[in-house]
A = this chain, B = another copy of it.
Amino acid sequence: MQSREIHLKRRPIGTPVAEDFAMVTVDAPPPGPGEVQVRNLWMAVDPAMRGRMSDAKSYVPPFALDAPMEGPAIGEVIASNDPVFAPGDLVFSRLGWREVFNAPASALQQRDRSALPTQAWLCFAGMPGLTAYAGLMRIARLQPDEVVFVSAASGAVGSIACQIARNTGCKVIGSAGGPEKTAFLRDVLKVDAAIDYKAEPNLTKALAREVKAIGATGIDVYFENVGGDHLQAALSLAHNFARFAVCGMISQYNVTDAPTVPRNLTMIMTKRIRMEGFIALDHMDLESEMVERMTAWNAAGQMASAETVYEGIDKALDAFWGLFTGANIGRTLVGFLG
């Protein structure tokens, strides 16, 4: 059997280009002792992969050169030399960017094939779901009837955060770029108000307008994905004792000169705001609770899928580029059977 893999050939300088990568066809021998052979069905790409292409110090190690990159994937066991796994099992691994692979059983986690759509394990029941859930429930300590502002609300995590907040009985204001995405926020995610930040000359005024429009006086929770003007608007509209769960600040990642920064950081003091960064890996203990809630919400028709799908491993780099053009909505997935 053969398998195609995407390798990192060299570390990109600035924006990654096609020459930084190679698609390599390798033999996929039968699994060795204790190994399991998996055929990937879906993998996800995300912006954090750009960080791992560099060798800068971070909380995850960089990708190795001349080896397949890593990333979350859902696959099906096709052969197994481990008693726990059997052909047909659905498994999660971090061994994406490849079609077929052998791995020790310890690199695989069983997933329930019947509970949810397969790709949900990479979306609202996967790390994006855990990120949104931990940020809102543990970091921000979300309560029903609060007002929640979500930036990058059409993104992989933001789209789930909007739905968790809505399902918890909160009012949700989402921000995204462009009319297609704001329509998605309103029509699919069912937020209470949507802001097209690209169409707003002053985001603080826009947020104030939408806060008023939903009958509120401010925001209680800010789910921060963006930074800059979005953070400034959230600070301006924050109620006293608001909680800001900082999941990312994507507007600041590629800024080399003076970044766009909030001019009102002092409001952290005057409004006694708690602003707390988090990464989902620190909150794996919440995973089973999160999956249980997501499964229940999904069964009740309260979790819309939010995905942009590319078909085939030969489209995996296109999927990755798509993350940075702003075109994708929700989680960006590569379907391996396309």
Contacts and interface: CB of A to CB of B under 8 A. Distances in A.
A241 B230 CA distance: 24
Given A249-B266, A266-B249, A266-B252, A272 B261 contact: no
A131 to B, nearest CB: 11
A227 B259 CA distance: 16
Number of identical monomers bound together in the oligomeric complex: 2
Interface stretch (A166-174, A202-210, A273-281, A284-292): A273-281
B259 A263 contact: yes
A266 B279 contact: no
A28 interface: no
A27 interface: no
Interface residues of A, number: 32
A324 interface: no
A150 to B, nearest CB: 15
Contacts of A272: 276-279, 282
A255 B279 CA distance: 33
Contacts of A276: 268, 272-276
B277 A268 contact: yes
Interface in A50-77: 58-59
A95 to B, nearest CB: 24
A1 interface: no
Interface in A239-281: 246-249, 252-253, 255, 258-259, 261-263, 265-279
Interface of A: 58-59, 227, 231, 246-249, 252-253, 255, 258-259, 261-263, 265-279, 282
Which 10 residue pairs across A and B have the least CB separation, nearest first?
Answer: A269-B277, A268-B277, A261-B261, A274-B276, A249-B266, A275-B275, A246-B269, A272-B277, A246-B268, A252-B266
